[in-house]
């Protein structure tokens, strides 16, 4: 468990959605969507945003595929490898959090906010992931 303001990353192949929490770790809000470039550029941008936002740590949404066969390469494997590379560029602690079903909740938030059907929802997905993490921390369901 990380105390303080958190940055949440919804990792995607084309975009990275970002959300931040308040300093007390109670609520999350969407921040921005980054169009992916190279890992070097993406990591530099993430680290700049983390510094600018003065976060104490990072939460990364982890895709879970319960139907994956043993030895099958999954999106979760891609994200784990990306986190490993990213963690070499930051001193901030990184935790992962299950992102299952966040796209559905993010789409609902998008409708509530009046966004167009074609607008990216990656930042809203990051918000949903982060709020889920914060709620679990508040309930004592995570270390």
DSSP 23-71: TTSS-EEEEEEEE---HHHHHHHHHHHHHHHT-SEEEEEE---TTPPTT
Average pLDDT of 87-104? Answer: 87
Residue 1 lies in a domain: no
pLDDT tens, residue by residue, 53-92:
999 999 999 987 666 677 676 888 999 999 999 999 999 9
Residue 125 lies in a domain: yes
Q: Can you give the pLDDT at residue 15?
A: 95
SS3 90: coil
Q: What is the mean pLDDT of the chain?
A: 88
Q: What CATH number corresponds to the domain at position 100?
A: 3.30.420.140
Domain that holds residue 106: 6-138
Residue 88 lies in a domain: yes
Q: Can you give the pLDDT at residue 107?
A: 65
| Contact assessment for residue 25 and residue 55, using Cβ atoms and an 8 Å cutoff | no
Average pLDDT of 5-15? Answer: 95
Q: Can you give the pLDDT at residue 102?
A: 67
pTM of the shown model: 0.86
Residue 70 lies in a domain: yes
How many helices, marked H, and strands, marked E, lie in the chain?
4, 5
Residue 11 lies in a domain: yes
Half-sphere exposure of 46 (CA within 13 A, CB side): 35
């Amino acid at each position: 468990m990380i105390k303080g303001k958190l940055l949440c990353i919804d990792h995607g192949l084309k975009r990275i959605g970002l959300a931040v929490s308040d300093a007390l770790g109670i609520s999350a809000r969407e921040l921005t969507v980054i169009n992916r470039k190279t890992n070097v550029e993406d990591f530099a941008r993430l680290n700049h945003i983390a510094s600018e936002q003065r976060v104490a740590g990072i939460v990364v949404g982890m895709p879970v595929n319960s139907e994956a066969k043993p030895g099958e390469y999954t999106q979760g494997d891609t994200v784990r490898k990306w986190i490993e590379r990213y963690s070499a560029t930051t001193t901030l602690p990184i935790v992962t959090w299950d992102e299952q079903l966040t796209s559905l909740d993010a789409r609902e938030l998008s409708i509530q906010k009046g966004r167009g059907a074609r607008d990216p929802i990656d930042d809203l997905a990051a918000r949903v992931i982060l709020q889920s993490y914060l709620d679990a921390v508040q309930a004592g369901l995570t270390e």
